[in-house]
Amino acid sequence: MALVELYRTTGNRADLELAGYLLSGVERERLKLSDSQVTYMFSGKPFTSRTEVEGHAVRAMYASSGATDYYLETGDPAYWKTLNRLWDDLTSSKMYITGGVGSRASGEAFGVSYELPNQQAYGESCAAIANLMFNWRMLMATAESRYADVMERALYNGINSGMSLDGTTYCYRNPLESTGEKIRNPWYETTCCPPNLERTFAALPGYMYAVNEKGIYANLYHASDMSWHLPGGEALQIVERTEYPWQGAIHFTVNPARTLETSVFLRIPGWSTGTTVLVNGKAWSAAPVAGHYLEIHRAWKTGDRIDLNLDMRTRLMTANPLLREDAGRVAVERGPIVYCLESADQPMLPSLFDAVLSGGEDFQMQYRADLLGGLMELRHTGVVSAKSAASEPLYRELGATSRATRPVTLTFIPYYAWANRGPLPMEVWVPYQRVER
């Protein structure tokens, strides 16, 4: 990444060629790397021969980011083919629902396909950041919304969970289930995650919008004022006002320096299946499609308004059947936010892990300004065993004993906010039983 950026700054072709040299893998012989080192370092073999993400997750994602940069400058089709193959492998079988990557503590590494344990998950904060960086570059190469969807998933969940709400303690690993071990610390002997989180948050304005010869793209949504210019030099200001991600209403005021014919592209997240878009109070002629950018092409005048309303219903998510650990369980999402159960919010439960979510998607929502810095709290009915599962036999014949249960109300908070009230039990994937009506 650094070499390609140096080439972009200096125009010195040797910098780009050195990046290509490192990606070619010829260093293996000079450094005498073993097979295990080649896997761990994600180096030492031609990048274009790779078929899967493997080894140290941060190294693999950084290398893929650098290879995307190299492709953007060279247009080498072999690199593009490989990058797509690696992205498919990552997102189809090796990425957590939080956008975290790297499931193994040993080697801070990717596991095999569908090896995504919850309590033992590693999910290093730096790896989620690297996932964001890789997808940002793929977005720049294609202007395809699916890459921004992954960026947003990682940002709001696997990255945002890495730092405490008061900014004084950090997570190196980000499990999706915990029995209450201490997960946040003020510092680490290996000090990669704290400064990496800080620089990512500082860089966020640069991710929100992008431009090309067609117009300007809104990638991530946040209350902001954007003053920029299009490739032709035309000055453009966009004022964005929203309470996203808690609310789905996003309002833009477009202020060109003069009347300007161009396109504004709005990302319609893949999860928003009921989106509406108004331009100056009237429905736009083209219907929004989830998982794509909506192009609004017109002659813009100062004060023109876009009203985007995203579908913020709460969703119950299931995992691929090959992800066996999550069988019979669901994860709760609302907008871009992944939710979890934390024991502090379930005082009626003797054990968090005795609870079962029941029913449909009819969650009660309440914005809690007094809770964990302000968040949207979700509540739903569930059941809990009359006696703790820990008191039952380790194995028993199917149907030999029916478990008595009682109803409870389960309270969900965003995953990023867990472990801010001390070391507490938590789970993202919750046992689920459908109630027939």
Please name each of the domains of the chain with its CATH number. Answer: 2-203 (1.50.10.10), 209-309 (2.60.40), 314-433 (no CATH)
Phi first, then psi, for residue 35 (nearest 5°) are -60, -40
What are the start-end ranges of the H helices in 75-192?
77-93, 125-142, 145-153
Q: Are 261 and 213 in contact (CB under 8 A)?
A: no
Q: Rounded to an integer, what distance in angstroms lies between the CA atom of residue 48 and that of residue 83?
A: 8
Q: Rounded to an integer, what distance in angstroms lies between the CA atom of residue 186 and that of residue 202?
A: 19
| E strand intervals along 99-248 | 170-171, 177-178, 184-185, 209-212, 215-218, 224-229, 235-242
Q: Which two tokens stand for residue 223?
A: 């209350």
Query: Does the predicted TM-score (pTM) go above 0.85?
Result: yes
Q: Are 352 and 338 in contact (CB under 8 A)?
A: no
> In this predicted model, what pLDDT tens digit does every residue of 101-141 receive, in sequence order?
999 999 999 999 999 999 999 999 999 999 999 999 999 99
Assess whether pLDDT exceeds 70 at residue 436. Answer: no
User: CA 364, 369, 375 angle in degrees (round to 5)?
Assistant: 55
Check whether the bond before 425 is cis (ω within 30° of 0).
no
> In this predicted model, what pLDDT tens digit does every residue of 300-335 receive, in sequence order?
999 999 999 999 999 999 999 999 999 999 999 999
Assess whether pLDDT exceeds 60 at residue 437. Answer: no
Q: What is residue 399's predicted lDDT score, i.e. its pLDDT?
A: 77
Q: Are 40 and 56 in contact (CB under 8 A)?
A: yes
